[in-house]
Each structure stands twice: as C-alpha cells, then as structure tokens.
C-alpha cells in the first residue's frame, strides 16, 4: 500500500479518475472556491499537514467533530486500546451503554437514544419515528438547513447543496415539492414543506393551511449549514408552540450544536425540550457516530421494541464509542468557557481586521462555531446568506490558505475553534485575515 503518494495535485488527478469529483463528500472538492484541495496526511492539536508537507492552522475540524483538536492523546490512547481488543462485534457492548448513558445524562430532552453511524441516519430515522407516531406524512424543514442526504431532506438544503447552488429557488413564503437533488422523486419532495428560517409569520401561515398534515418540523436550532445563523428571540419557542397546537413533533437537529455550543446542546442554552433530537460529530470524536433520541414513548416505537424499523451494521461500534466517550470526558464547564472565549476572540479579531480594511463583514457566532459573511446586512436566513459576496469569500479563503490558515471552502459552512487552539493561533489568524483583506 503506497503511503508516499506524491503531491496533492497528482493525488487529485488520480482521485478524480477513481471517485466522483475526486472526493468522498462534495464540499471537499473546493468547487465553491476553486483550486485543488490539499490531501491531508496528519493532524495534531489545531494543526494539519498535507502530503506536500505544508502545515495549516485548521478551522474545519472535520466539519465539527474535533472539538478537542486533532489526535488528542486521550482519544488516540482509548481508540488504540479498544481496537486492540477487536474493532466490531455486531453485538451489544459496554461502551455503547456508556455513551448512551452520557447522552441521556447530558441532553435534557433525551430519555432514550439509538446510536447510528452518521447524522444522515439520525435525521432520517427521527423523521420515520415522527411519521409513525403521528400517522402523518408531511414534514417541515427550513431553507438553508441541512440534515444529511436522505431523499425527504434534500429540499432547499444547506451545506454542500447550497454551496453547489443546486438549491431550489422557486416557491412562495413556503414551498414544497422541489427537490434539491436529482434522483429525489417529486412525490417524495411534495411531502416536505420548506420555510424561511427566523420567519414565524410564514410558519404560522403554513400551519394555518396544512397543520393537520404535518408530522414534524426538523430544525437546526442554531443553523451551521447556511453559515452560522442565530435564531431570533422567540422563534424556536414559536415553532414549538405551532407544533404543539397542531399535534406535530419538533425535531432538533443538533448534529453540529450537540455538545458543541453547550454540553446539552442548543436546547440546554435556550431551555427548550424538543420531542426528538439528532446528534453526531462531537459524540464520535472524529469517528462515525450519529444518534437520535427523545421521549421514551416515541423511542419505544423503534425496533425491536416497536414497529419503526431502523438498523446498522456498525451502529454502536466500540472503537467509535470510545472515541466519543474520551472526547466528551474533556468537555466540562471550564472547557465550554474556554471554547466561548476563543470563539469570541476570533470573531472580534475578524471584525477588527475587516473594519481596518474597510471591508463589509458580518460575523455570526455561537460559542466556538462562527461564520464571516462578506456582506453589510444582517444574515438571518438563507436568502440573506445567499446575498453575501461568495466570490469575495473565495478570494479570502485562498489568501488565508496561502498564509497557512485552512478554513471551510464555502461561505455556507461554520468555522470551528477547538480546545487545542491558542491565543497565539488566533492572533496569527487575525493577522493573516488583515493581510488577506487588505490585499
């Protein structure tokens, strides 16, 4: 097995012959910013290195999981020990009980949880439970939010869908039936209504007309997939009230925000109890883990306890469980204070750099996740995010990359600060940003 693969360019040329776009996930292909993606071979703390030996300060963090930084010694040790005793059994293990126990103890609304291998599986399964529990078929999502690539959720989605600009643009204040991907049958998409995030009037209009058809609303409580956008005060509570009156369920997709913005996720920050919650990323510490959970009566619908079927060969995989447990063990109150300090310092530094350069920049932040938007207007939903200058973001991205700073290759993603980042790293990043903006 060749481990000295040559340059990123050579690897990318071969990868493009072997894999669609040369990548295992679309956003990694740099279509929104152009250029050849660096092929990474090593990470340690806040740094990553590519095959050409270049080092980068990393703010992608594997899109959220690496809240403790790359190759944290406790995670590496735990994973190594666990793998040496066998990597997978397809049987119950103590480690999955331990992670389930930690999740139930940490996330206020989760009384029972099922572990899966990705956020996509978590979201699609939570929707299936909601449809079974309510006997209804329609679901509601928000334009710009992304919940993985299950058919029903590829409608005006965020993240890579928004980045590749395949998102549907038609439809009034709420729209249904317009797939955001080829291969999604219109009859599936017609069951998915989309609404503008932060627009309670539009939600009230939809519920007035179609409320009795709606099984669930699925929402990122703090979206990261249109870039970071904060819920207006009362918005999430308003959605919960509409659902309660209509007999629909609320699903918080906390795949990004779970254990990221607080130990109990955004629901703990806002004091809201959704009926179902999706988790991922941080709970796997860089290994494939997702989870969905919630009220005991709802999770009691899930096979083998109830009629909702969902399964997975590597669900609850012991190595991945151990990576998640070791990561979550690092996340105490002091860790969240530190993450918030670092996130705040980076956001302030970017704003100062833009002010000095006379560049319009809006930075939305929640704890250690943030997005700088090249725009002068507040970014409160997908439409305002789309009005940001994505070409300017692309130039900024490359100017930072040339200075050894790696940020998400899309305006519609979140930057992540980890516990491994230092004040010196942030100073270096903000200096690079100032130079990049002045160029």
- Residues forming contacts to ligand KE4 in the complex (CB under 6 A) are 25, 27, 63, 118-120, 123, 146-148, 159-160, 220, 224-225, 253, 255-256, 280, 290, 413
- Give whichever of 255 and 406 is closer to ligand KE4, judged by the CB atom: 255
Q: What's the number of CA atoms in the CB half-sphere (13 Å) around residue 162?
A: 30
In the set 281, 292, 336, 381, the catalytic residue is: 281
Identify which of residues 221 and 318 has a Cβ nearer to ligand KE4 in the complex. 221
Asked about 393 being catalytic, the answer comes back as no
CA distance 118 to 122: 6
| CA atoms of 269 and 264, how far apart (whole Å) | 8
56 is catalytic: no
CA angle 105, 111, 116 (to 5 degrees): 90
Q: Residue 408 corresponds to which tokens in the numbers above? A: 């998400």
Residue with Cβ nearer ligand KE4 (119 or 294): 119
> Measured between alpha carbons, how far is residue 294 from residues 112, 127, 129, 271, 321 in Å?
6, 12, 10, 15, 20
Of all residues in the shown chain, the one whose CB is closest to ligand KE4 is: 119
DSSP code for 37 = P
The question of whether 30 is a catalytic residue gets the answer no
Tokens of 211: 């409320």
Q: Which is nearer to ligand KE4, 123 or 236 (CB)?
A: 123
Backbone angles phi, psi at 287, to 5 degrees: -115, 160
**Least separation in angstroms between CB 412 and ligand KE4:** 8
Minimal distance, residue 308 CB to ligand KE4, in Å: 19
Min dist. Cβ of residue 62 to ligand KE4 (A): 9
- Are the C-beta atoms of residues 129 and 301 closer than 8 Å to each other? yes
The least distance separating ligand KE4 from the CB of residue 12, rounded to whole angstroms, comes to: 17
Whole-angstrom distance, CA of residue 390 vs CA of residue 373: 8
Of residues 58, 143, 253, 425, which has the active-site annotation? 253
Q: Considering the candidates 146, 270, 292, 393, report the single residue annotated as catalytic.
A: 146
Cβ proximity of 373 and 407 under 8 Å: no
Dig out the tokens for 373 from the structure. 């938007």
First to last CA, the chain: 43
The residue (of 96 and 253) whose beta carbon lies closer to ligand KE4 is 253
Name the minimum Å distance from CB 291 to ligand KE4.
Answer: 11
Which of 51, 283 has the CB closer to ligand KE4? Answer: 283
Place of tokens 């990576």: 323
**Least separation, in Å, of the C-beta of 120 and ligand KE4?**
3
* CA–CA dist 216, 297 (Å, integer): 16
- In angstroms, the CA 298 to CA 184 distance is 28
Contact present, 380 and 232 (Cβ < 8 Å): yes
Catalytic residues: 146, 253, 281
């Amino acid at each position: 097995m060749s481990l000295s693969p040559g340059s990123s360019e050579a690897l990318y040329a071969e990868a493009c012959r072997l894999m669609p776009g040369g990548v295992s996930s679309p956003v990694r292909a740099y279509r929104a910013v152009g250029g050849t993606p660096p092929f990474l071979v090593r990470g340690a703390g806040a740094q990553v290195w590519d095959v050409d030996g270049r080092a980068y300060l990393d703010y992608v963090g594997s899109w959220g999981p690496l809240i403790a930084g790359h190759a944290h010694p406790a995670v590496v040790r735990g994973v190594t020990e666990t793998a040496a005793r066998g990597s997978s059994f397809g049987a119950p293990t103590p480690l999955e009980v331990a992670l389930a126990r930690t999740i139930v103890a940490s996330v206020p609304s989760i009384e029972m949880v099922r572990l899966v291998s990705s956020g996509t599986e978590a979201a699609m399964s939570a929707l299936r439970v909601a449809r079974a529990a309510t006997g209804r078929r329609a679901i509601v999502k928000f334009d710009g939010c992304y919940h993985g690539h299950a058919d029903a959720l590829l409608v005006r989605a965020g993240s890579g869908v928004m980045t590749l600009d395949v998102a549907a643009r038609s439809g009034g204040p709420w729209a249904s039936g317009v797939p955001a991907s080829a291969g999604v049958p219109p009859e599936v998409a017609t069951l998915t209504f989309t609404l503008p995030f932060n627009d309670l009037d539009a939600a009230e209009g939809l519920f007035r007309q179609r409320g009795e058809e709606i099984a669930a609303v699925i929402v990122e409580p703090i979206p990261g997939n249109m870039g970071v956008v904060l819920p207006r005060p009362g918005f999430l509570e308003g959605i919960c009230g509409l659902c309660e009156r209509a007999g629909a369920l609320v699903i918080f997709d906390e795949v990004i925000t779970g254990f990221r913005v607080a130990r109990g996720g955004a629901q703990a920050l806002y004091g809201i109890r959704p009926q179902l919650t999706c988790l991922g990323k941080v709970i796997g510490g860089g290994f494939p883990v997702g989870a969905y959970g919630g009220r005991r009566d709802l999770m009691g619908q899930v096979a083998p306890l109830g009629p909702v079927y969902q399964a997975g060969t590597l669900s609850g995989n012991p190595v991945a469980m151990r990576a998640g447990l070791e990561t979550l063990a690092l996340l105490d109150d002091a860790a969240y204070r530190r993450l918030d300090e670092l996130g705040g310092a980076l956001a302030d530094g970017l704003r100062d750099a833009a002010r000095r350069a006379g560049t319009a920049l809006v930075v939305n932040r929640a704890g250690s996740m943030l997005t700088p938007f090249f725009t002068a207007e507040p970014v409160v939903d997908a439409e305002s995010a789309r009005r940001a200058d994505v070409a300017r973001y692309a130039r900024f991205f490359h100017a930072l990359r040339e200075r050894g700073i790696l940020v998400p290759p899309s305006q519609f993603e979140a930057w992540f600060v980890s516990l491994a980042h230092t004040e010196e790293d942030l100073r270096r990043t903000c200096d690079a940003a100032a130079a990049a903006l002045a160029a």
